[in-house]
Structure 1
Amino acid sequence: MNKLSDYQWKNRLILVQPADERAGEVETLRRAQAKIEDRDIVWFVNMGSTVVSNQSAVPSSLARDVKALLEGLGSDERVLLIGKDGGIKSRESSLNLDAIFDRIDAMPMRRREMRAD
């Protein structure tokens, strides 16, 4: 995957712009691995010089896409949830995984996925 659009119809995305490198978002996301995998989520955290993800590697072209999207956010927006359809589903000031999971679980596509499982 070399750009964000490559994930469309395959994964939901969480993009995070932490307030600082010690904010703990990466650890929070890693601790929720099972719930994240269950919802087909790929996450990216912009750490400034690098982009950290639950993907094995983040190519420079993909890191540029992530940074460009996050840099376009308002000053009080630090977290984006992007649906499988490629649309932005929420813009938040902080990473609240329970709220994100609730929002995803209420989506029609996710409800169909849960019924199929």
Structure 2
Amino acid sequence: MKFLAITILSIMALGNMNAQDNDSYLWENRLVLMLTNSIENSDFKEQLGEFRNKEEELEDRKIVVYQVTPKKYATGISDTPDWNKGDNFYEKFKKSNTPFEIILIGLDGGTKMRKKEFIPADEIFEKIDSMPLRRAELNALKKS
């Protein structure tokens, strides 16, 4: 919960979310943060392309993707996103000196996966599908 609070406060401090939006992410969406020092980075571009090919699966698993650079960030997987200024968002989440990092944050706000290179979307989906909350979601869908 502490990480979730930090995450939400970081996003709110950047002016992207109001209190209502803040509540919509809590227990509603998983976040994938794609951190790169350059949008020209090959891992970043490959990851973005991978997610574009898996939009339905992202939506099914309630994943919101953030593109994050040292000076700006955006939500979504568009080639031309609406960038927001935010020079401390990158610093708060970047834990390595690598040019690319991807972080999966679960519904509970905890870090579930952190990689320093491109990762196939299916590997992220397998990780999510193994989580208790996702299994409960799938069971509820089967019963309805």
TM-score between the two structures when normalised by the length of structure 1: 0.77
2:102 is aligned with 1:87? no
Question: Cα offset for 1:100?
Answer: 0.8
Give matches, 1:1-117, under 5 Å: 2=17, 6=22, 7-18=25-36, 20-22=38-40, 23=42, 24=45, 25-54=47-76, 60=85, 63=86, 66-71=89-94, 73-76=95-98, 78-96=101-119, 97-117=121-141
Q: Distance in 2 between matches of 1:15 and 1:104?
A: 15
Question: Cα offset for 1:41?
Answer: 0.3
Amino acid at match of 1:2: M
* Higher mean C-alpha deviation, range 12-21 or range 86-95: 12-21
Aligned pair in 2 of structure 1 residues 75, 46: CA closer, same or farther (>3 Å)?
same
Q: Distance in 1 between matches of 2:50 and 2:89?
A: 19
Q: Aligned residue pairs: how many? A: 113
Provide, for residues 63-99 of structure 1, a one-character-per-residue CA deviation record: whole Å limited to 9, x for no partner. Answer: 567424333x122571111000000111111232111
Contact between 2:37 and 2:69, CA under 8 Å: does it hold in 1? Answer: no
Question: Cα offset for 1:42?
Answer: 0.3
Identity %: 27
Contact between 2:102 and 2:116, CA under 8 Å: does it hold in 1? Answer: yes
Give the RMSD, CA atoms, in angstroms: 2.8
Q: Distance in 2 between matches of 1:64 and 1:94?
A: 22
Question: Cα offset for 1:104?
Answer: 0.3
